[in-house]
Structure 1
Amino acid sequence: MTITNKTIDEAKEMGAMALFGEKYGDIVRVVEIGDYSIELCGGCHVRNSAEIGLFKIVSESGIGAGTRRIEAVTAKGAYQYVNGKHQLLQTAASQLKTMEEQVPERLEHVFQEIKEQQRQIQSLQAKLSQQEASSILADVKEVNGKHILAKKVDVSDMNQLRQMVDEMKQKLESGIILLAAVNNDKVQLAAGVTKDLVSEGYHAGNLIKETAKICGGGGGGRPDMAQAGGKDASKLSEAFNYVEKYAQNPQ
Structure 2
Amino acid sequence: MPVHKHITSYNEAIESGALAFFGDKYDHEVRTVEISNGSKFSYELCGGTHCNYTGDIGSFYIISESSIASGVRRIEAVTGVNAEKLATNHLSILNSLSSSLNVPISEIKNKINDITNEIEKLNKNYNKLENKIHSENILDIEKTSIKIGNSTLVSSVLDVPNQELLRQTGDQIKNNIKSGAICLGSNIEGKATLIIMVTKDLTNKINAKELIQSISPIINGGGGGREELAQAGGKNPEKLTEAIKTFEKIVKNILSTN
- Post-superposition offset of 1:57: 0.8
Partner Cα separation in structure 1 for residue 158 and residue 79 of structure 2: 61
* Post-superposition offset of 1:149: 2.2
TM-score normalised according to structure 2 size: 0.73
2:148 is the alignment partner of 1:149: no
Q: Summarize the alignment of residues 1-251 of structure 1 with structure 2, pairs less than 5 Å apart.
A: 1-6=3-8, 10-15=9-14, 17=20, 19=22, 21-22=24-25, 24=27, 28-33=30-35, 36-39=42-45, 41-137=46-142, 139-141=144-146, 146-169=151-174, 172-194=177-199, 196-197=201-202, 202=206, 216-218=221-223, 220=225, 223=228, 226=229, 228-234=231-237, 236=240, 237-238=242-243, 240-242=245-247, 244-246=249-251, 248-249=253-254
How far residue 45 of structure 1 moved from its aligned partner, in angstroms, is 0.3
Q: Distance in 1 between matches of 2:150 and 2:249?
A: 11
CA-to-aligned-CA distance 1:14-56 (integer Å, 9 cap, x gap): 33647364464x86533344665341x3211012212212211
Please provide the CA RMSD for this pair. 3.6
In structure 2, do the counterparts of structure 1 residues 218 and 57 end up closer, same or farther at CA, with 3 Å as the change threshold? same
Distance 2:12 2:176 in 1: 90
Amino acid aligned to 2:52? R
Alignment size in residue pairs? 242
SS at match of 1:119: helix
Contact 2:183/2:194, CA 8 A, preserved across alignment:
yes
Identical-pair percentage: 27
Structure 1, unpaired ranges of 5+: none
- Shift of the 49–219 alpha-carbon distance from structure 1 to 2, 3 Å rule, reads farther
Runs (4 or more) in structure 1 with deviation over 6 Å come to none
TM-score, normalised via structure 1 length: 0.74
Indicate how the Cα distance of structure 1 residues 52 and 229 shifts in structure 2: closer, same or farther if over 3 A, else same.
Answer: farther
Q: Distance in 1 between matches of 2:91 and 2:21?
A: 40
What runs of 5+ residues in structure 2 fail to find an aligned partner? none
Structure 1, residues 32-89: CA drift from partner, whole Å, max 9, x if none?
Answer: 44665341x3211012212212211110112234332111111222222122212212
Q: 2: distance between equivalents of 1:60 and 1:220?
A: 48
Most deviating of 136-145 and 106-115: 136-145
Q: Confirm or deny: 8 A CA contact 1:155 1:161 kept in the other structure.
A: yes
